[in-house]
Structure 1
Amino acid sequence: MSLPIQLSFDELDTPLHETTFVVVDLETTGGSADTEAITEIGAVKVRGGEVIAEFATLIDPGRSIPPYIVELTGITTAMVIGAPRIERVLPGFLEFARGSVLVAHNARFDTGFLRAAASRLDIAWPKFQVLCTVKLARRVLTRDEAPSVKLSALSSLFQVSTQPTHRALDDARATVDVLHALIERVGNQGVHSYAELVDYLPTVSAGQRAKRSLAAQLPRTPGVYLFKGPGNEVLYVGTSTNLQRRVRNYFTGSETRGRMKEMVGLAVAVDHVECAHALEAGVRELRLLCAHIPPYNRRSKFPKKGWWITTTTDAFPRLSVIRTPAPDSIGPFTVRADAADAAALIAEFYAIRTCTRRIPKSAVHDCEPTAVGGCAAASAEPITLEQYAPAPERFRALARGTEASALHAIRDRVTALADAQLFESAARLRDRLAVLADVLRRLHRLGAIAAIAELVVARRATDGGWELAVVRYGRLAAAATTSRRVHPMPVVEAIVAAAETVVPDSTPLRGASPEEVGLVARWLDSDGVRIVRTTDGYAEPVHGAGGWKQWCATARTVAGLEHGTHDEPIGRAL
């Protein structure tokens, strides 16, 4: 075993030999942290297998100690008379343990009492990392070897130097020996840091842990990582704000997904793209997914995949569901059936024909009304081209957000059906309207961003600097960060000058993928974002579907109720 290899760890995942543990044990007046009190605290601070300091004191609980507790621990009411109260002891213990990993045997019990005491005393509880030796023992030891993981049983198994006696300091000393014995068991399996210790699972193979060296050269910065197979093919693409830490997690027990374990088994290398901040990482991930279509990614491999509603090029246009967006189209819909339902709904309320025969410009549309399933543009008299033209134009206006009469008419129909107690019909129409309004709302929101030729934005970073982004026609064209006390404007000018050239098209999102524009939109909506400058004002269309957000949310809530039990008229609920 080579010591230098064991010490090549991420600074954020401290090696175990450099980690300070405070092993604590409590004695109490009972089992409930809400109603009972602490009678004794014992703690041992250790690092690198050596004891640094100990902390031990009896505590006056302010009440008599029950006889069964006296029998168990040997601590009597007389022994705690004159002992300090918890309000004097707890601040000292928290200072003793500050900056360490808190360890306890059944940590939930001990930390529960300590946190409850801190809460009653209005003392802020530090954000301790906590390690439970009960849970760790269950992972490390087989049930044949350790049928019980009680402290007394593990003390016998590991032949600890201090036997547990149900007194706090003795039990804490015994837990120290148990902790060290458990760490020794997993040390030869590639577990050498605190993060790997808490993530340890025996199902993780030695080969999987050995591959953690693939992450050794990755930076601890935001970016995209690519797992590659034996033929240099890309197996999986992911993103993280800390590349090294995230990739190393794939080689520990924290990764429990079967597909990912299979992927790690095939991987022979990990490439990366370092990014300025999370937005750039997210965008580059989407683009790499589209470029490589990695087999182990389940989502976002086809960022332009979707279904759009558009008008045909006939003299008397119909609505058609297509794969790629066209000017003044509506989408994207994830499911084709939803797009087809929405097209039928729009056709019905805008009187757009649904018959499929070709009609020359010189002819007329002469479908006659039928009881059910007839053409949506049917009328008693033939319709000329001039009379028909406003119908498809209203659809285009709906797509642009300059007209929304169909949405209001459909909502009125839902209410009318509910008033007539036709609740099932009302529910079906409501759900179809919710899908259509949701898609339109997203389209108008993303389209407003994609319409801006250049948008330069900044967001305050956690270190006091700025995260900068140049967005052109909905696509990220450049990104950078500035440090604290560095004036951002020279950096802004530099990245604008070097930003990617974007040539838009005439589709609703100017050729950008909906997922990328959506990612940019969510980043723009996050806290602390400021517009540095923009070539165009950002505004959603006045008659767009932005105002339907609450209605759609209510519709989804109502739809989630058990079907067939609509005791309240659906139209009135909305």
Structure 2
Amino acid sequence: MTAATHRLPHPGPSGGLQLSFDELAEPLRDITFVVVDLETTGGAAASDAITEVGAVKVRGGQVLGEFQTLVDPRRSIPAFVSVLTGITDTMVVSAPTISSVVPAFLEFARGAILVAHNAPFDIGFLKAACTELALPWPGPAVVDTAVLARRVLTRDEVPNCKLATLAPFFRATTRPTHRALDDARATVDVLHGLLERLGNLGVHSLPELRAFTAQVSEAQRRKRHLAEGLPARPGVYVFRDAKGTPLYVGTSRNLRSRVRQYFVASETRSRMGEMVGLAERVDPIECAHTLEAQVRELRLIAAHKPRYNRRSKFPERAVWLKLTVEPFPRLSVVREARDDGASYLGPLRNQRQAEVVRDAIHDAVPLRQCSDRLSLRRVVRAACVLAGIGRCDAPCEGGTTPQQYAALVGLVASAWTGDVRPLVAPLEARIAALSAAQRYEQAGVVRDRITTVVRACARMQRLSAVRAVGELVAARPDGHGGWELVVVRAGRLAAAGVAARGVPPWPVVDALRATADVVDPSHAPLAEETECILRWLEQDGTRLVDASAPWAMPAFGAGRMSTYLAADHPGADPFRDRRRLPMAARPARATVTG
């Protein structure tokens, strides 16, 4: 199939586009909070019951509504609880039961963020009540003011973080009395006091608020000034130490917001805390859009190999499966694809994947597996045991002619670059035979081996197809009435830009082409970079503006075999399957007749 070329119309409205996580982060002043407090017959949600519910709905510092009711627990209230709360059996005898209170409260709190002091206690009772009533728990975000207070306040300010201590510290207008509505009102004032403190620490949105409650060292918080002055644009950020050595490279749609999260505990991995402790500066690299940011990140990680990055750090460790150039070729796992006339499948991510693909191909085609040097003119030695069980055509003792063997090699090579069906057909026949014999587990193993081969071939064919195009120009809506534009040359991102709303896109395209990087087609780009470009090109709404040559895939290539490419069975990740196929379950070998 060949991709069509389109002109650039004006993009439609962006209402159907999914915003990024950073763009969805509402400021705290626009968020509705429901501060809730419960009184109960005891401390165990599984065995005790709720006696009173009090809640206050607030947004932007304004009270929007209140909810308060006693609850009939259908049991006697312990005397010490009555002394503490002032709620007696007489007071709740005519109160509504939990079956009517919980639905009413959930309706009151719908769409809001729940806040509670020592939230696990109150939320635990509400969840237990929902379970008892067979009601689904809506799963709202929860903020615990007790945890926030422990993160914000020091012991010099308050001796503890009890509500009775925090309320006078923040000059709450309501004194906590162990009654639900009074305690909820006091918690509202405590919440507002804490949010004022957090604003000075750079916490301005709900994700940052929730992240702040995670454990973070004081050393990390002291580095929050590193996020000052960063642009709120897509790009790459580089943490560097005192010597300027890159420690970590990352990417985001919003550089300022993402880097700021490292200092308010959004990143809880211990190695990230260590990295922030060593960092002395953060260098931003603004990008036109997310694709350019992702590609630049990959290139920087591959070039500098920062000690705190793990993914994409060693692209040179990719391996290839090679059909050797010799009288009777064999499959060999190599570290580099050379221009030596051999056929290569790859790049594959590691040695393990290459070995699994090699074994799967050996299951379908009886290529030799020995490393002996064989001659076309004479028998070298007696055949090994693989020939005796039908796993090899025994070219070493003249069991096959060079022409017959070359046909098998051609079948494998053509499957890598084009029609994969002849390689898959023997394995599919084996699946049918095993299923008919009700040997379903072994049939599943064979199916996973097919998946292994198909996915490896599909990846190579997709990468090769886009690398074969000398220059490709594409565009996709930016979500704001404009266009994101890219120039791809030989599978490498050569230029990226944006035609904002109201700006004619064609002059921008011409400028990008004129200033794009010069790419040497003989130097293959990073496989991950090309895959990143492909994912961007394949998104809904992307338009192929121009191409110097057809961008085409083989008509019967591996990309057509959606059954094996879809992740819809336990063996969908073929490289996680370490089982060996028993000899009795070996597939019938592929044969080629001249």
**What secondary structure does 1:227 align onto?**
strand
Deviations 1:160-203 (A, max 9, x none): 44213567764443113323554688789x46645654433584
Note the 1:345-494 alignment, pairs <5 A. 345-347=360-362, 349-360=364-375, 363-364=377-378, 369-372=383-386, 376-378=392-394, 381=398, 383-417=400-434, 419=436, 426=443, 428-494=445-511
Picking from 181, 189, 195, the partner of 1:177 is 189
Task: Please tell me whether residue 301 in structure 1 is matched to residue 318 in structure 2.
Answer: no
Task: Please tell me whether residue 339 in structure 1 is matched to residue 351 in structure 2.
Answer: no
Name the amino acid aligned to 1:440.
C
Asked whether the equivalents of residues 225 and 271 of structure 1 are also in contact (C-alpha less than 8 Å), the reply is: yes
Deviations 1:392-443 (A, max 9, x none): 2222211111353122112323443454566676555444332222211222
In 2, Cα distance between equivalents of 1:530 and 1:491: 15
In 1, Cα distance between equivalents of 2:476 and 2:502: 15
1:330 alignment counterpart: 345
Asked whether the equivalents of residues 38 and 86 of structure 1 are also in contact (C-alpha less than 8 Å), the reply is: no
Deviations 1:495-521 (A, max 9, x none): 12222222223xxxx712221111111
Higher relative CO (CA 8 A, sep ≥ 6), structure 1 or 2? 2
Do the aligned partners of residues 75 and 529 (structure 1) sit closer, same or farther apart at CA in structure 2, a change above 3 Å counting?
A: farther
2:548 alignment counterpart: 535
In 1, Cα distance between equivalents of 2:253 and 2:355: 40
**What secondary structure does 1:502 align onto?**
coil
Deviations 1:432-474 (A, max 9, x none): 3322222112222222222222221111112121111112222
In 2, Cα distance between equivalents of 1:349 and 1:67: 72
In 2, Cα distance between equivalents of 1:397 and 1:319: 14
Do the aligned partners of residues 550 and 428 (structure 1) sit closer, same or farther apart at CA in structure 2, a change above 3 Å counting?
A: closer
Asked whether the equivalents of residues 483 and 505 of structure 2 are also in contact (C-alpha less than 8 Å), the reply is: yes
C-alpha deviation, 1:354, in angstroms: 2.9
In 2, Cα distance between equivalents of 1:556 and 1:46: 51
Note the 1:15-414 alignment, pairs <5 A. 24-25=35-36, 42-43=56-57, 53-56=62-65, 72=87, 103-105=115-117, 131-137=143-149, 139=151, 151=163, 154-155=166-167, 160-165=172-177, 170-180=182-192, 182=194, 190=201, 193=204, 197-201=209-213, 203-326=215-338, 328-347=343-362, 349-360=364-375, 363-364=377-378, 369-372=383-386, 376-378=392-394, 381=398, 383-414=400-431
Asked whether the equivalents of residues 37 and 53 of structure 2 are also in contact (C-alpha less than 8 Å), the reply is: yes
Name the amino acid aligned to 1:281.
A
Name the amino acid aligned to 2:510.
E
Deviations 1:258-296 (A, max 9, x none): 111111111111112211111111111111111111111
Deviations 1:514-533 (A, max 9, x none): 21111111112222212222
TM-score, normalised by the number of residues in structure 1: 0.74
Name the amino acid aligned to 1:556.
G
In 1, Cα distance between equivalents of 2:360 and 2:92: 79
Name the amino acid aligned to 1:285.
E
Asked whether the equivalents of residues 366 and 383 of structure 1 are also in contact (C-alpha less than 8 Å), the reply is: no
TM-score, normalised by the number of residues in structure 2: 0.71
**What secondary structure does 1:433 align onto?**
helix
In 1, Cα distance between equivalents of 2:365 and 2:106: 72
Report the identity percentage: 40
Gaps of 5+ in 1: 1-9, 48-52, 117-124
Gaps of 5+ in 2: 1-21, 78-84, 130-137, 588-594
Do the aligned partners of residues 357 and 38 (structure 1) sit closer, same or farther apart at CA in structure 2, a change above 3 Å counting?
A: same
Do the aligned partners of residues 394 and 210 (structure 1) sit closer, same or farther apart at CA in structure 2, a change above 3 Å counting?
A: same
Do the aligned partners of residues 158 and 544 (structure 1) sit closer, same or farther apart at CA in structure 2, a change above 3 Å counting?
A: same
Name the amino acid aligned to 1:388.
Y
In 1, Cα distance between equivalents of 2:23 and 2:406: 68
Name the amino acid aligned to 1:333.
L
**What secondary structure does 1:399 align onto?**
helix
1:50 alignment counterpart: none
Name the amino acid aligned to 1:463.
H
In 2, Cα distance between equivalents of 1:168 and 1:222: 46
Name the amino acid aligned to 2:344.
S
C-alpha deviation, 1:21, in angstroms: 7.9
Do the aligned partners of residues 209 and 373 (structure 1) sit closer, same or farther apart at CA in structure 2, a change above 3 Å counting?
A: farther
